[in-house]
Amino acid sequence: MKFTDVNPFSKNEQSKINKSLLSTVKKGDFILGKNVEKFEKKFSKLANVKYSVGCATGTDALILSIKALGLKKKHEVIIPGMSYISTGLSLALNKTKICFADIDPDTGLISLKSIKNKINKNTKAIIPVNLYGQKVDIKKLRSIIGKKVFIIEDSAQSHFAFSCYNCGKADEETCCKKELNHSYADLSCYSFYPSKNLGAYGDGGLITTNNMNFYRKLKILRNLGTIKKNVHEYEGLNSRLDTIQASILFEKVNYTKKHNDYRRKISKYYDDELQFISEVKTTETKPGSSRHLYVIRVKNRDRLLKYLQKNGISSQLHYPYSLNRAGALRGSVKKESLPISEKWSKECLSLPVYPYMKLSDAEKVVKIIKKYFNY
């Protein structure tokens, strides 16, 4: 059984994507072409945000966002101990000081209490990560840190996810699909890596903001520091979202919210079936999560991983080490312990979940796990 499906489209849907791609090729409109701006505007509308800036990768989206803040050497940025390496690398590559916060033991999201204890006079920004597709309570975070500290939301896994913290809906099993909460962030960063909820046919990234000044600066930074040929205002990157990928994403984005709903359906089944196995810890998740990944935690995780593989079920590790243990970041941080993040990395295991995954396949996954634990 496969772990994910990077192209879950019908023949008719796939035909529209192919047509958009071939049209771009025929026009030879490859660099910052019309479909880049068209996709940016469509994404902004669907995400209910004013501006979007496409770039080459999700990692670059973070790097460009840090550059846009114009941080000084003394400034620090707080990030969670549990995330993909890109969250930390974006700071290391910008020569920015990293300060780690631990995570919540039930959700895996950055601990707001830990952030509160880490803030000091040099704290300039915080990067909350919407891990596995679940939104951090950005509104509450903003109330804790005030208006002077920037928030860069790492939304690489949470395309069109909803926030359930201020929803007020009585039925907590159903998402109201209204509250987004990213308006409390200064910048939000997305990845279009093929396996994401919205994936390109290669790499791609995007930054959203409601701030006109950030929008203008980011458009310059992504294009080698220029918007006019041979006039370079900033130390920018060659990080443009190419028109071919934008053309593909312009069509694929029409189905992302529907696909998120299907991910929620499969994940809800897992929740209901696995919650009674005492050896399995499910991740506490609000219904508005995009459910990019379905992650459980178990002791002797590697043994269960091998058992699943032996029974034809693909599973993965997200992530096998906490960022404070990442060799690539040694030069950017002081040695410190993050007990919850470190424990999480030793126990986490991601199960298959993707749009149009057969319920019978999810049933097989649950059956094998129950058999492993003698349930």
pTM of the model: 0.97
- Domain match, 168 and 277 both: no
Q: Is residue 171 pLDDT above 80, yes or no?
A: no
pLDDT band of residue 331 (cuts 50, 70, 90) is confident
Looking at residue 245, the DSSP 8-state letter turns out to be H
3-state secondary structure 316-351: ECCCCCCHHHCHHHHHHCCCCCCHHHHHHHHHEEEE
Strands 294-297, 281-282: parallel, antiparallel or unpaired by DSSP? antiparallel
- Domain match, 33 and 98 both: yes
Give the whole-angstrom CA distance, residue 156 versus residue 235: 25
Provide mean pLDDT across the span 54-80.
96
pLDDT band of residue 195 (cuts 50, 70, 90) is very high
pLDDT band of residue 215 (cuts 50, 70, 90) is very high
Q: Is residue 73 pLDDT above 90, yes or no?
A: no
Token pair 């529209």 is found at: 16
- Domain match, 76 and 214 both: yes
Is 198 within the bounds of a domain? yes
pLDDT band of residue 323 (cuts 50, 70, 90) is very high
Residue that finishes a domain, picked among 255, 280, 314: 255
Closest CA to 211 of 234, 182, 179: 182
- Domain match, 189 and 290 both: no
Domain total of the chain: 2
Is 2 within the bounds of a domain? no
Give the whole-angstrom CA distance, residue 271 versus residue 276: 9
- Domain match, 210 and 130 both: yes
- Domain match, 104 and 148 both: yes
At 25, give phi and psi (nearest 5°).
-60, -45
Residue that finishes a domain, picked among 232, 255, 278: 255
- CB hemisphere CA count around 338 (13 angstroms): 32
- Domain match, 330 and 290 both: yes
The pLDDT score that the predictor gives to residue 166 is 86
pLDDT band of residue 330 (cuts 50, 70, 90) is confident
Is the four-CA dihedral 309, 312, 313, 319 of positive or negative sign? positive
Which residues does residue 333 pair with via DSSP β-bridges, in sequence order? none
The pLDDT score that the predictor gives to residue 145 is 96
Using an 8 Å Cβ cutoff, are 257 and 33 in contact? no
Residue that finishes a domain, picked among 205, 233, 255: 255
pLDDT band of residue 253 (cuts 50, 70, 90) is very high
Q: Each residue of 112-150: pLDDT tens digit?
A: 999 999 999 999 999 999 999 999 999 999 999 999 999
Is 189 within the bounds of a domain? yes
Q: Each residue of 10-50: pLDDT tens digit?
A: 999 999 999 999 999 999 999 999 999 999 999 999 999 99
Looking at residue 103, the DSSP 8-state letter turns out to be B
Is 6 within the bounds of a domain? no
Is 1 within the bounds of a domain? no
Q: How many CB atoms lie within 10 A of CB 180?
A: 18
- Domain match, 116 and 189 both: yes
Domain extent at residue 86? 11-255
Please report, for the domain that includes residue 322, its CATH number: 3.90.1150.10
- CB hemisphere CA count around 351 (13 angstroms): 31
Q: Is residue 273 pLDDT above 80, yes or no?
A: yes
- Domain match, 272 and 227 both: no
End-to-end CA distance of the chain: 22
Please report, for the domain that includes residue 186, its CATH number: 3.40.640.10
Q: Is residue 167 pLDDT above 90, yes or no?
A: no
The H or E element that residue 23 is part of is: helix 11-27
Give the whole-angstrom CA distance, residue 304 versus residue 301: 5
